Chain A
Amino acid sequence: DGGITQSPKYLFRKEGQNVTLSCEQNLNHDAMYWYRQDPGQGLRLIYYSQIVNDFQKGDIAEGYSVSREKKESFPLTVTSAQKNPTAFYLCASSISRDSLYNEQFFGPGTRLTVL
């Protein structure tokens, strides 16, 4: 079964610690995305990647970092510089960001709580 997975589903961290959220896809998609979802604010784009070893900042990249060493994987690190990291994080992928039809496939999400 092809799909996109995120782990863990729930994550707790202490203030001041970095934490990495995992995202893996076996859909052979070129493009991958990270979104943050807060109540009443919808989805906000953190980072995206169109190809291996390349990624771009989205609308709210401050305090986050990513890597794209493999096509299948796009981990997100929430650093201690992110002032309000408690949120629901969603990873998505699409065949290519360059096509006009850009259906995104979403993972199940990771809920991060900073204590």
Chain B
Amino acid sequence: GEDVEQSLFLSVREGDSSVINCTYTDSSSTYLYWYKQEPGAGLQLLTYIFSNMDMKQDQRLTVLLNKKDKHLSLRIADTQTGDSAIYFCAPGGYQKVTFGIGTKLQVIP
């Protein structure tokens, strides 16, 4: 089955950029999603990228996709305390989406 790997924890200072990395194994992934989970809540879609793109920018968020290396990253510019959450990488294809383990982002004021 699909393997999705993310680091467990990232700590950044408020105002700095955060970069969360993800590697996956399924080359047939067509849409690759980033979800955000705040404490005690469900997941919300943050952004996504289609597999024929290598970059997508959405306000403070930049998604980079290296399809050859099966590497996905999420950059959050000017990180705020409200960005503290768990971020899940989720590559998806026909009839499946696989969630990574989640990276807990801690923003230090």
**Residues of chain A at the chain B interface (Cβ within 8 Å):** 4, 6, 35, 40-43, 59, 90, 92, 97-98, 100-109, 111
Contacts and interface: CB of A to CB of B under 8 A. Distances in A.
A109 B92 contact: no
Interface in B65-109: 88, 92-97, 99-102
B105 to A, nearest CB: 15
B88 A100 contact: no
Give the interface size bracket for B toward A.
20 to 34
Given A98-B94, A100-B31, A102-B92, A40 B101 contact: yes
Nearest to A109: B42
B33 interface: yes
Contacts of A4: 42
Given A40-B101, A42-B88, A42-B101, A109 B94 contact: no
Contacts of B11: none
Contacts of B35: 106
Contacts of B92: 100-102
Nearest to B31: A101
B7 interface: no
B52 to A, nearest CB: 12
B43 A97 contact: no
Given A41-B101, A43-B88, A109-B40, 16 more contacts: A4-B42, A43-B43, A90-B42, A90-B43, A98-B94, A100-B93, A101-B30, A101-B31, A103-B48, A104-B43, A104-B45, A105-B45, A106-B44, A108-B42, A109-B42, A111-B40
11 contacts: A42-B88, A42-B101, A43-B43, A43-B88, A59-B1, A100-B92, A101-B92, A103-B45, A103-B48, A107-B42, A108-B41
A98 B45 contact: no
A90 B40 CA distance: 11
B53 interface: no
